[in-house]
Amino acid sequence: MKTDVIVVGAGPAGLMLAGELSLAGVRPIVLERRAVPGTAHKASGLGGRILDMLRYRGLLDRFAAVGTPIAAPIFPFGGMHIDFTSLADGPMDAMGIPQARVEELLAERAGELGAEIRRGHEVVALDQDEERVTVRIEGPEGAYTLTARYLVGCDGGRSRIRELAGIAFPGNTFPEVNRLGMVRVPDTVPVRDDGGLDLPGYGPISPGFTRTERGVFAIGPVDPAQRTMFFQTTEEDRTEYDNDDPLTLAELAASAHRVLGAELPLGDPIRLSRYQFQARRAERFRSGRVLLAGDAAHLLPATGTALNVGMLDAVNLGWKLAATVQGWAPAGLLDSYHEERHAAAGRALQQTRAQAALRRGQDEAADALRAVFQELFADEPALRRLAGMISANDVRYPVPGADAHPLAGTFAPDLPLLTDQGETSVAELLHAGRPVLLDLADRAELREQVRGREPRIVIVTAKTEERPADAILLRPDAFVGWAAAVDEPADTAATGLRDALDRWVGQP
């Protein structure tokens, strides 16, 4: 059997990609080795730019109906907390929503748009040549092969696809051992109103991180009605354990005892896991007809960032791969996925590695480093810069030319617009996931440049108060491909737009 695109893995990255490809008119086959969707507690929320992106696709309401928006969050950073509540405009949006629900909603959307999700189908071998990729799959009815024009490995940090495609995954594993348990709190331990604990023999423990001389202890809610919480310990001193053996309640309790110096009574566990953070990035996000996205492409050594970055990979790749399959992609469009997202992952690695450095160390120098950062967290410019890093709101893709408009390469602002048909907005224009030339100053010579490239791109003439540019080329992933300065001369604006159209939309 032959298809256009195979997506391996129905995690957040694979399902987001399946939806984006389908929106652009290419219906992929998603192969997922698990027979039923996973219910394990992983990420407990979404944060940062992906929430804007979901809104720009008209999907945010679905997520908000299930999740809990957090307007001004207190965010974990390097074993400390950054309190963004002092900033009135909330530069770091977050939403509490279990990862399993995120995956459910993404699968629902991909299915509605025509993607086929095959559960219980594991890819075990891969071969590619100049024209196709062929995979061998073990499915519920036995083994079979499937051939596609492209394949995307969204198969997680231990990616088999990455290995089969021969893509290196350089980086490091941090020695600290984290032990995580989702556990019922016994009735003998009082849970405080703020979600913390009064631990006999230790005293009050606030939600979030507690640092002691022997490590870090963290707690947070899972299901307050059932008195279930997550408990996590982080220890630098290596204790004896066999990594092949699963974490037990006794091992978690012993670790908590070492860190807190007090006994932590633990009830029935829902989930127990032991892990070490890794900082890794695939050397290439593309090898011929095989691409990587999500954890398969990068592992970040801090919580709260990976879903955002991985789902944004999918949004960046979806339209480019669809354009390639549909035959209208300009030269280099698919390779720009690696150029843009490899760099974006590098930025995310930088801030999460910095978090690893802040978390580590029990000596005076490490304490001083944390104290200095804690002071910086009180300053508005520092808070805003960190919000930009954590949310990925500060990502600017490279743009050619030193005199590019400041909007070029950035995520498009959600301008309110007035058109002949009535009120709309940049976010609404991007629901369909197609390139748009947004003409904000009735510039006929710019609209003329689009002629012959429709219907790949649509033209929208609109007015907005205090326009930041005379015209904006919106890419389907909501990034600005090009913009004309207010009153930019016709010849330079037309040339700039023509070049940008050639680059992002293809020749007439």
Minimum separation from the CB atom of position 34 to ligand FAD (A): 5
Residues 31-50 that bind ligand FAD (CB under 6 A): 31-34, 42-44
Structure token digits, residue 298? 């990068």
The answer to whether 306 contacts ligand FAD (rule: CB under 6 A) is yes
Of these, 155, 340, 439, 488, which contacts ligand FAD (CB under 6 A)?
Answer: 155
Residue 85 to residue 222: CA distance in whole angstroms: 23
- Mind giving me the DSSP string for 229-249? EEEEEEESSPPP--TTSPP-H
3-state secondary structure of 137: strand
10 belongs to the binding site for ligand FAD (CB under 6 A): yes
Contacting range for ligand FAD; rule: CB under 6 A; set: 10-18, 104-112, 245-253, 432-440: 10-18
- Binding of residue 506 to ligand FAD (CB under 6 A): no
Stretch that binds ligand FAD, among 8-16, 337-345, 362-370, 463-471 (CB under 6 A): 8-16
Candidates 11, 48, 196, 388: give the one binding ligand FAD (CB under 6 A): 11
Pick the closest to residue 499 from 330, 338, 313 (CA basis). 330
What 3-state DSSP class applies to 82? strand
Is position 294 an interface residue for ligand FAD (rule: CB under 6 A)?
yes
Interface with ligand FAD (CB under 6 A), residue from 22, 128, 287, 305: 305
Written as six digits, the tokens of 403 are 């005199």
Could you please report the per-residue DSSP string of 404-470? --TTTTSBPP--EEEETTEEEEHHHHTTT---EEEESS--HHHHHHHTTSTTTSEEEE-B-TT-S-S
Q: Of 33 and 456, which CB lies nearer to ligand FAD in the complex structure?
A: 33
Contact 20, 319 (CB under 8 A): yes
Instruction: Based on the shown chain and the rule CB under 6 A, indicate whether residue 148 belongs to the binding site for ligand FAD.
Output: no
Pick the binder of ligand FAD from 4, 5, 7, 12 (CB under 6 A): 12
13 counts as binding ligand FAD under rule CB under 6 A: yes
Orientation angle between helical segments 364-376 and 335-359, nearest 10 degrees: 120
Q: For 244-305, give the secondary structure using H, E and C.
A: CCCCCHHHHHHHHHHHHCCCCCCCCEEEEEEECCEEEECCCCEECCEEECHHHCEECCCCCC
488 part of the interface to ligand FAD, by CB under 6 A: no
If you ran DSSP here, which 8-state letter would residue 185 be given?
P
Residue in 117, 180, 219, 460 binding ligand FAD, rule: CB under 6 A: 180
Least distance (Å) between residue 221 CB and ligand FAD = 13
Q: How far is the CB of 14 from ligand FAD (least distance, A)?
A: 5
Three-state SS across 471-484? EEEECCCCEEEEEE
Q: Site size for ligand FAD, by CB under 6 A?
A: 30
| DSSP code at position 449 | H
- Contact with ligand FAD (CB under 6 A) among 307, 426, 460, 484: 307
Q: Which residues bind ligand FAD (CB under 6 A)?
A: 8-14, 31-34, 42-44, 99, 122-123, 154-156, 160, 180, 294-295, 303-307, 310
